[in-house]
A = this chain, B = another copy of it.
Amino acid sequence: MAKLTEIGWKEFEALPLEAKRPYLERPGGEGMPYHTLFAQQFDRPLLERLAALANRIRFISKSREGALFLKSFLPHKRAMLYFTQPSSRTFLSHLAACQILGLTTGSVRDTAISSEFKGESKEDSIRTFSSYFDMIIMRTPEKGLAEKMAWELSNSDRPVPILNAGSGKDQHPTQALLDIYTLLRSFETKGGLRNRTVTFCGDLLRGRTVRSLSYLLTNFENIRQMFVAPKELQVPEDVLAILREKNVSYDVSNDLREAVSTSDAVYMTRIQDEWDSAKGESAKIDTSRFKFGAEELALLKPDGIIMHPLPRRDEIATCCDHDPRAMYWRQMRNGMWIRSALIATTFGLENEILNCGY
């Protein structure tokens, strides 16, 4: 088995993502993740196993007894939530996921009140957290920091797992997991996640969500992908190159209504103007035709679904919120369940939960 203790940092960093995967697995864990850093760590069997575990946790938690049973799994463990990038949704979702399993938590949500103002390196800060906690859930603007810390900790006296809750522009693996879980659940009783058309709409250039989900969808059978965006914000060529390499059918367009009428899932996204330069280029782009409202809703198939990673601005009109096909609120709650499943897996509990009497 590949071990992070048997490879230098530079050598590990230089590996392609696929080759990194075995190094991040739980020892003896049959391919289950220990450190969760990339969407690319997850293949179809693993995604389906996590979805099954999330379903189980969701079901067990419905009763008081079940909820207390789940809380009895990890009350002896403590998780650190290190969020130096603004986020209440992702923070609270991970917090709730920890609480479901009984973990106690600590958090740093603002570097202004941390030791870093005294000149400490981020590496030292995170190693500090590993002294007091048994898992580190981190969200930072620095690309690659989660990966570096996974290597560092695995080579230290306290090899605690890292869960990447968003790092820079590149990765946000648990968002991709919850998106897949939502698709799996939505089509569970309708023939499954195969032979579908998934449309992405909005800012496809700068959203890491689209990039990861597009990749994970290639694990599933005959999923056609449509990319609908203003030309300045269209999906990057490297995403399409992967689809071609994997023989996945796709289309690029600027006509949302046409796409909606043939889609099983429409994945709307926000214009990510926080990545704009000072010139504010987003404001100059005409995005008016890339919003989902009453007219688009009327075009959607009866069992089609609308997704959004949230937060939204006006990409989806609030008049759609009460339609049963609006899946974005449930998608958000799914995030809590799939993160619970992932954390349970990190600590090697998946079989115990899947096979429990509940």
Contact = CB atoms under 8 A, between A and B. Distances in A.
B75 A71 contact: yes
A78 interface: yes
Interface stretch (A143-151, A234-242, A256-264, A308-316): A308-316
B104 A99 contact: yes
Interface in A83-111: 86-89, 92-93, 95-96, 99, 104, 106, 108-110
A159 to B, nearest CB: 13
Contacts of A95: 106, 132
A328 to B, nearest CB: 10
Contact of A270 (B78, B113, B118): B118
Contact of A114 (B61, B88, B312): B88
B76 A118 contact: no
Interface residues of A, number: 58
B92 A106 contact: yes
B87 A128 contact: no
A138 interface: no
Given A75-B68, A86-B113, A106-B95, A311 B118 contact: yes
Contacts of A312: 120, 124
Given A95-B106, A106-B95, A120 B310 contact: yes
Contacts of A127: 329
16 contacts: A68-B75, A68-B76, A86-B115, A88-B115, A89-B115, A92-B106, A92-B133, A118-B274, A119-B270, A120-B313, A124-B311, A127-B329, A128-B310, A128-B311, A128-B332, A132-B336
